A and B are shown apart, each in its own frame.
Chain A
């Protein structure tokens, strides 16, 4: 089952707004992105359909970097700005509940004003301000950090970028840590009840065949 995920990739290096680059991006499955620039930073705003957030982001990173030689994806947003839908997800509420809080028709009022984009559908809030309001106005402690999948995506991009600047000894250390991390992830993946239930079904099915 797939869903559509909204996110923005910040990119550095080559210009992605030339006609040649835009054509290449379109041909490389990036026709679900809008290319722009703000304050000298180039960005691609995606609405990408995928099986998970991480799958959507990593496939977009791959598509962008394959399409335009010399471009590097450096960050996934939003990690600071959030839509009403994202606030709802992060606070485990419905979107309607958050909308009512945001316009003061529910809760104690004084919800933080939107920080960017005026159009109703695309309003953005600073997550730090919203999280602080949930804690002080509603007494609901909310994690300030972005969701785990987004943190993972940015961690991968950060690590990838930093390895180009590390010395040989540090690279060796990183490689060892990645090996250890890979084994840890594999173990947790295999020990998931869903994965083991599927294996048990295979075991039982073959047994009764």
Chain B
């Protein structure tokens, strides 16, 4: 598939759009913690430390190495997402961009947590930190 799923669908209501925006904000905050931890500008938060301790694909890897590798492989995507979230015009995000950004955030966290994108929200704690 060349474009994110459901990219061209309209949100059915303002409430659905607001929910998508809230989800993007929430996932974005977790991803910002990942970037800050990988860059050494903030300590590794508890939720991430726990995830990095779990074996990935059947074998373990030192948490610091796994975090650095994740940051290297997905650095461009993390940066692009941060751009979207940091943008002063974030409230003007068109529907396509909002859908694409939310899908990207879900996929990035799904890879990190080694779970399907649909389970990301349930795997994360209520709040970052």
Contact = CB atoms under 8 A, between A and B. Distances in A.
Given A188-B4, A192-B1, A194-B1, A204 B57 contact: yes
Contacts of A143: none
Contacts of A183: 80, 83-84, 87
Interface of B: 1-5, 7, 56-57, 59, 61, 66, 69-70, 73-74, 76-77, 80-81, 83-84, 87, 89, 94, 96-97, 100-101, 103-104, 107, 111
Interface stretch (A16-24, A60-68, A116-124, A195-203): A195-203
Contacts of A192: 1-4
A184 B97 contact: yes
Nearest to B103: A191
Contacts of A199: 73-74, 77, 111
A9 B7 CA distance: 31
Contacts of A184: 94, 96-97
B84 A190 contact: no
B100 A191 contact: yes
Contact of A190 (B2, B66, B77): B77
Contacts of A138: none
Contacts of B59: 208
Contact of A207 (B1, B61, B81): B61
Interface in A162-204: 180, 183-184, 186-188, 190-194, 196, 199-200, 202-204
Chain B contact surface mostly: helix
Interface of A: 180, 183-184, 186-188, 190-194, 196, 199-200, 202-204, 206-208
B69 A206 contact: yes
Contacts, number: 67
Given A183-B84, A203-B70, A208-B57, A188 B77 contact: no
Contacts of B1: 192-194
A126 to B, nearest CB: 28
Nearest to B81: A187
Contact of A187 (B2, B5, B56, B80): B80
B80 to A, nearest CB: 5
A188 B102 CA distance: 11
A3 to B, nearest CB: 16
A202 B72 CA distance: 11
A203 B104 contact: no
Contacts of A180: 89
Contacts of A187: 80-81, 84, 97, 100-101, 104
Contacts of B66: 207
A190 B57 contact: no
A207 B77 contact: no
Given A184-B97, A191-B103, 6 more contacts: A184-B94, A190-B77, A196-B77, A199-B74, A202-B73, A207-B66
